[in-house]
């Protein structure tokens, strides 16, 4: 399988490049980035035969079967649709779009073209969350509450590599999207109640720097999510699963019980790298002619809940 990685030298583009290197039968044949000198140098260093600054130049190539989009959030919808209309399978990094209307259009075009379109909902694939999911499916656990904290210190417009960012990140449509999708995925239900509160907006970036979200599904399980770009302390996301049969704390790919005893996740997945697991599922779905876990149609429910939360800010 021949793949184009767009946004290849960005923080997550490189994560996908490294992940693909561990997957047999997949070759990166094209990379795209906004700066000619950088993308040419990146392609040469990685041994990729084609580099471009315009995604359209990659989509016309016959040696590109699928595309991974690690580009700015605001480009995701238009680029995903362009890939599908060009006859390419596409994996778009989270979020697949920054509005419900764009998300619905992606799903419509995917159904129209019949190509595989997958959203990069990495939390579905992290071994820690997969362990919980397997227990739920086996009837051994039932979620009572998920308590989640997503904290960063980003008072200036920088990315995960500490470099200046050309676009503005968003607590709701990006970072909350992880937890909204995960909560609905783990419970197997769609929220019937969802609301949010915004803190003050950044004077230059124009985005809320702090946010609180509450959700509930029909079974009665609730989720409380706190997010901040103002947190000058330990960074990242911590998920606390309060269940009928134990409490579990997930920190990315690690899992602990309520007594902070680490749980052995050996054998849960073929890799401890969530990005690699997403990529493996994407390529497997293409080969097997099936919809992947995280297909855009499956993730649409999370985008509907995000839209409901956004509308609640001004209610």
Q: What is the pLDDT of residue 28?
A: 98
Q: What is the pLDDT of residue 206?
A: 87
Residue 313: its pLDDT value, please? 94
User: Does the model's pTM come out above 0.85?
Assistant: yes
Domains 2-122 and 123-274+301-312 share a fold: no
Q: Report domain extents, the chain.
A: 2-122, 123-274+301-312
What's the pLDDT at 221? 98
Domain 123-274+301-312, architecture per CATH: 2-Layer Sandwich (3.30)
**Which residues of the chain have a pLDDT value below 70?**
157-167
What superfamily would CATH give domain 2-122?
NAD(P)-binding Rossmann-like Domain (3.40.50.720)
pLDDT given for residue 161 in this prediction:
63
Say what the pLDDT of residue 228 is.
96
pLDDT tens figures, 102-157:
999 999 999 999 999 999 999 999 999 999 999 999 999 999 999 999 999 877 76
Burial group, residue 247, by CB count within 10 angstroms (0-12, 13-18, 19+): middle
Angle subtended by helix axes 100-113 and 296-312, to nearest 10: 170
Q: 3-class SS at 182?
A: helix
Q: What is the pLDDT of residue 314?
A: 84
Residue 262, classified by CB atoms within 10 Å of its CB into exposed (0-12), middle (13-18) or buried (19+), is exposed
């Amino acid at each position: 399988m021949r793949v184009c990685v767009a946004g290849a030298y960005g923080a997550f583009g490189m994560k996908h490049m490294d992940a693909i290197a561990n997957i047999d039968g997949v070759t990166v044949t094209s990379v795209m980035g906004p700066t000619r000198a950088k993308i040419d140098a990146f392609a040469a260093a990685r041994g990729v035969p084609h580099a471009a600054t315009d995604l359209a130049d990659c989509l016309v190539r016959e040696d590109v079967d699928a595309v991974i989009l690690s580009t700015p959030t605001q480009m995701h919808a238009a680029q995903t649709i362009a890939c599908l209309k060009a006859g390419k399978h596409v994996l778009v990094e989270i979020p697949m779009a920054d509005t419900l209307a764009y998300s619905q259009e992606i799903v419509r075009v995917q159904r129209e073209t019949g190509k595989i379109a997958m959203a990069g909902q990495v939390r579905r694939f992290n071994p820690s969350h997969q362990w919980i999911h397997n227990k739920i499916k086996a009837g051994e656990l039932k979620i009572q509450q998920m308590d989640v904290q997503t904290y960063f210190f980003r008072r200036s417009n920088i990315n995960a590599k500490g470099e200046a960012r050309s676009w503005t990140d968003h607590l709701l449509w990006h970072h909350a999207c992880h937890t909204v999708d995960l909560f609905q995925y783990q419970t197997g239900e769609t929220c019937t109640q969802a609301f949010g509160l915004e803190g003050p907006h950044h004077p230059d970036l124009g985005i809320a720097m702090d946010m609180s979200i509450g959700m509930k599904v029909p079974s009665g399980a609730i989720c409380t999510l706190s997010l901040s770009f103002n947190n000058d302390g330990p960074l990242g996301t911590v998920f606390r699963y309060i269940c009928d049969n134990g409490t579990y704390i997930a920190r990315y790919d690690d899992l602990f019980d309520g007594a902070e005893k680490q749980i052995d996740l050996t054998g849960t997945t073929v890799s401890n790298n969530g990005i690699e697991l997403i990529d493996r599922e994407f390529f497997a779905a293409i080969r097997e002619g099936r919809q992947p876990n995280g297909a855009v149609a499956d993730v649409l429910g999370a985008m509907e809940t995000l839209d409901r939360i956004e509308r609640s800010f001004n209610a």
